[in-house]
Amino acid sequence: VSRTLRAWGESESGRAERLAGRVAVLDGTGNPTLAYLASGIEGIKIRLTAKGASTAEAEALLAEEEAEVRAILGDLVFGVDDETMEHAVLALLRERGLTLGVAESLTGGMIGTRICDVPGASDVFRGSIVAYASDVKHDVLGVPEGPVVSADAASAMAAGARRVLGTDVGVAVTGVAGPDRQEGQDVGTVFVGLDLGPLGGDVGPEAFEVQLAGNRRQIRQFSVITALSALRARILALA
């Protein structure tokens, strides 16, 4: 029997380093086995497979190995088998009674589309503002004049999404998907903004920078799962 854990929030090499000791143990026994599969917007898939004289025996081995892997990776694991990052984020927000608003630039609506693919998303998700042009960022979201590929712009976009859409939480992405540099920023430079309003205490709107590799489509896809992963981590960190 097999089970696939989905993880995100750390480089593939970093994740492999964490699991290296466990892989060595499994290599010595040959059962269960562990394999990686990088799946872009679906995250890093860690496939566990166990064999036994009966289904029950194999499933027991699999459950033990899953517990071992989860103990190593912690909250980096966001789902099992077909559970996407969108499922994980919506379930977490629903559990806490929170609503979500999104502002997107380089992703062009991909975050909203992924969220809307999850049945029942409407009880959490209020909408996405696709602010692709700079003047839309300024006029609709209240981003101050100046560079729009920046941490300041990303945090202002998240705050604008929360304000305009009337939500508890706002998340935003802005960056350079290519093929050319923009505002002096290299292709693959992405800023993710988060605004948790009063839930965030004294933190206020915040943003961070990531460098993403790949072609234009891959950068946009990685931006989606990275932004949602950051939101998930921030919500999990709340008291």
More confident residue, 122 or 20: 122
Task: Sort strands 125-130 and 100-104 into parallel, antiparallel or unpaired.
Answer: parallel
Tell me how far apart the alpha carbons of residues 238 and 143 are, in angstroms, rounded to a whole number: 26
- Residue 37 has what pLDDT? 87
Helical segments of 50-148, H only = 55-73, 85-95, 110-116, 134-139
Instruction: Read off the tokens for 111.
Output: 């975050």
| pLDDT exceeds 90 at position 60 | yes
Q: What is the pTM of this model?
A: 0.94
Residues 125-141: tens digit of each pLDDT: 999 999 999 999 999 99
In the chain, what percentage of residues exceed pLDDT 70? 99
Edge to edge, the sheet with strand 125-130 lists 125-130, 100-104, 169-175, 189-195, 206-211
Tell me how far apart the alpha carbons of residues 65 and 49 are, in angstroms, rounded to a whole number: 9
Residues 70-118: tens digit of each pLDDT: 999 999 999 999 999 999 999 999 999 999 999 999 999 999 999 999 9
Tell me how far apart the alpha carbons of residues 174 and 177 are, in angstroms, rounded to a whole number: 9
Overall average pLDDT of the 175-184 stretch:
96
- Residue 22 has what pLDDT? 83
**Amino acid in position 32:** P
Highest mean pLDDT among 6-10, 25-29, 161-165, 202-206: 161-165
Instruction: Read off the tokens for 203.
Output: 């933190």
